[in-house]
Structure 1
Amino acid sequence: MTLAPRAVLVHRRTEYEELLAHHGTPGQAAFFLAARGRSVTEVEERHRRQADALARAAAAVPLEWRRTRVERADLPRFLFEPEDVVVVVGQDGLVANVAKYLDGQPVIGVDADPGRNPGVLVRHRADALPTLLPAAVARTGARHLEERTMVEAVADDTQRLLALNEVYVGQPGHQTARYRLTVDGAPDSASDSGTAGRSSSRPPVDDRPRADPPEPQASSGVLVGTGTGATGWCRSAWLERGAPLALPEAAAPALAWFVREAWPSPATGTSRVHGVLDGGRQLVLTVESDRLVAFGDGIETDALELTWGQSVRLGVAATRLRLLG
């Protein structure tokens, strides 16, 4: 017997709920804001819009489907099923938060606060879900599933991390990160990739990709981002660097990487501070600090822990986000 699809409604606590959790009562929260020249009305209104969008999303789920809800903080402990259709109700960043836990399940982004969110990933309104949910299961018709590239970080002890926007590798206390950087799989510029005109007396040239020699670096960390992330943190780094390269498109199997504030010294270099990873190339960092971390999409609480001598590889992930257009 085939299981009915399950709608998983993903949301996060609102600012108003955070205030209540901290201050205990609505009156205390209102007093706290009023004492600082702010009104509780604006956060109450955003809370109301979020609750309304969630209620309408739940009501749109077909009666024969299964359904559940999961709050962002519970995502690391939630088990997604192959039959799931994931409905993200909230901000664009919430889609990135959930993407790392999925394995091909279709995602529908619902904008809970139109006009406040850019709507890059949460493109739909809750009122459209009666049509979108069956389309996500049928995977036919006018709606299509857009596949977006993700970035993967894999440590030499098999720790693994996925991210939709970017992975940051650096010192957790925002001090100087020390490491050796290698672009693995970069074509050897000295090799002859062709065979025409090659003398029969010469040995054949090894055309396999070769890694550049590692460069010791000291910096504020390394950022490796996707085309989706090219609208956020990576774009900021790209602009500060003077737009030295073309940022990848969201679906392109390529990543852009940037070294933040590389420091030149007799022992550290700055010759490699940005680039594009495509064609299967990876960025390899070998740790030369007591401790570095790698985290994705700004979630520092879910990070890879890296100690002196360990290495981490960053490249295009086999997993892709499947977003309903």
Structure 2
Amino acid sequence: MSLAPRAVLVHRVSEYEELLARHGTHGQAAFFLASRGRTVDGVRDRHLRAQRALAEVAAAVPARWRQARVERADLDRFLFGPEDVVVVVGQDGLVANAAKYLDGQPVIGIDTDPGRNPGVLVRYRAADAARLLPAAVAGRAAFDALTMVEAVTDDAQRLVALNEIYLGSPGHRTARYRLSPTDDPAGRADDRGEAQASSGVLVGTGTGATGWLRSLWQQHGSSLPLPGAAEARLIWYVREAWPSPATGTSLVEGELAPGERLRLTVESDRLVAFGDGMESDALELTWGQSVRLGIAASSLRLLC
């Protein structure tokens, strides 16, 4: 007998909860903010709205279904199953945080603060959950297949992200590496690569084109067209490449189509690669190690 679907509610600690964890009580948190000309009321109100939305979604889960909750900080330790329906209750960025741990499960984005969030990925309200959950498993719902980016190291470590993958120094030091933008899927190096010293490399998707990737696109004054969220195309940028007798600046942006890979070979003691701002779940890269980046085989199934 097949398992009943499981609704996995993904949420994150609120700003108000973080304030209480730091200051101990509501009164202490209010005093701290008041001493800086701010009020705790708005922070608490957003927290209460998020809690109400989470409770409403939990109550909407069909009675025969199983249910689980996972906080953002625990995503890398949570085991998602093939029968799961993932309900992200929060901000757009929380969908991206969860995406890298999924493998084709349907995702529903619930906006806890309409008007404050862009609502690109969290497209629904808590009141919609009762009709959306059954539809997600009964074939009555349409999904967008959002393109994802992956990084694969030469020792077979793999990282997947919905918005972007950043490669660079874990601190504020210069990242040194060799970049080859026309590496083929078999991993053979390209002789036209360039040694670089920079603030790192960003490889992003169409979903990421509303955030960090767009910022770099604007800073570069780039003529590359930004990809759409479901378009099988990536864009990459080098941040603040530094010219020197040993390093160049001719390869600072480009596109990656299906099957194409960007190859980066580390020439620093330590670089990291992380996706969608999740620095706590990064790949560690050491001198001489290489990593290839391109379009991931998997995509995010987000309810339209």
Give the TM-score band, short-chain normalised: over 0.9
In structure 1, the residue matched to 2:60 is 60
Which residue type is aligned with residue 160 of structure 1? R
Measured against aligned partners, the alpha-carbon deviations of 1:170-192 in whole angstroms (never above 9, x if no partner) come to 01112111100002347xxxxxx
Q: Is 1:312 aligned to 2:295, yes or no?
A: no
In structure 2, the residue matched to 1:218 is 197
RMSD of aligned Cα (Å): 1.2
In structure 2, the residue matched to 1:296 is 275
Alignment of 1:153-164 (within 5 A): 153-164=151-162
Contact 1:139 1:145 in 2 (8 A): no
- SS of aligned partner of 1:272: coil
Q: How far does residue 243 in structure 1 lie from its aligned partner after superposition?
A: 2.5
Alignment of 1:88-99 (within 5 A): 88-99=88-99
- Measure the CA separation in 2 of the matches of 1:285 and 1:247: 22
Q: How far does residue 25 in structure 1 lie from its aligned partner after superposition?
A: 1.1
Measured against aligned partners, the alpha-carbon deviations of 1:148-202 in whole angstroms (never above 9, x if no partner) come to 010001111222111100000001112111100002347xxxxxxxxxxxxxxxx
Which residue type is aligned with residue 77 of structure 2? R
In structure 2, the residue matched to 1:321 is 300
Which residue type is aligned with residue 104 of structure 1? G
- Measure the CA separation in 2 of the matches of 1:280 and 1:111: 35
TM-score, normalised with respect to structure 2:
0.97
Structure 1 residue ranges (4+ consecutive) displaced by more than 4 angstroms after TM superposition: none
Q: How far does residue 308 in structure 1 lie from its aligned partner after superposition?
A: 0.6
Which residue type is aligned with residue 287 of structure 2? W
Contact 1:183 1:212 in 2 (8 A): no
In structure 2, the residue matched to 1:104 is 104
Q: How far does residue 213 in structure 1 lie from its aligned partner after superposition?
A: 2.0
Alignment of 1:1-325 (within 5 A): 1-140=1-140, 143-185=141-183, 211-325=190-304
TM-score, normalised with respect to structure 1:
0.90
- Measure the CA separation in 2 of the matches of 1:33 and 1:76: 33
- Measure the CA separation in 2 of the matches of 1:136 and 1:176: 46
- Measure the CA separation in 1 of the matches of 2:54 and 2:110: 9
- Measure the CA separation in 2 of the matches of 1:254 and 1:148: 11
Question: Is the radius of gyration larger for structure 1 or structure 2?
Answer: 1
- SS of aligned partner of 1:244: coil
Change (3 A) 1:280 1:181: same
Aligned length: 301
- Measure the CA separation in 2 of the matches of 1:74 and 1:282: 31
- Measure the CA separation in 1 of the matches of 2:157 and 2:43: 39
Measured against aligned partners, the alpha-carbon deviations of 1:235-267 in whole angstroms (never above 9, x if no partner) come to 000011113201111111111000011111111
Measured against aligned partners, the alpha-carbon deviations of 1:52-98 in whole angstroms (never above 9, x if no partner) come to 00011011111111111111111111110110000000000000000
Query: Taking every aligned residue pair, what percent have the same amino acid on both sides?
Result: 71
Which residue type is aligned with residue 34 of structure 1? A
Q: How far does residue 27 in structure 1 lie from its aligned partner after superposition?
A: 1.3
- Measure the CA separation in 1 of the matches of 2:201 and 2:128: 40
Which residue type is aligned with residue 312 of structure 1? V
Contact 1:184 1:212 in 2 (8 A): no
Q: How far does residue 103 in structure 1 lie from its aligned partner after superposition?
A: 0.3
- SS of aligned partner of 1:33: helix
- Measure the CA separation in 2 of the matches of 1:169 and 1:163: 13
Contact 2:4 2:65 in 1 (8 A): yes
Which residue type is aligned with residue 54 of structure 1? L
- Measure the CA separation in 2 of the matches of 1:132 and 1:270: 49
- Measure the CA separation in 1 of the matches of 2:176 and 2:235: 21
Q: How far does residue 232 in structure 1 lie from its aligned partner after superposition?
A: 0.5
- Measure the CA separation in 2 of the matches of 1:48 and 1:320: 33
- Measure the CA separation in 2 of the matches of 1:255 and 1:211: 19
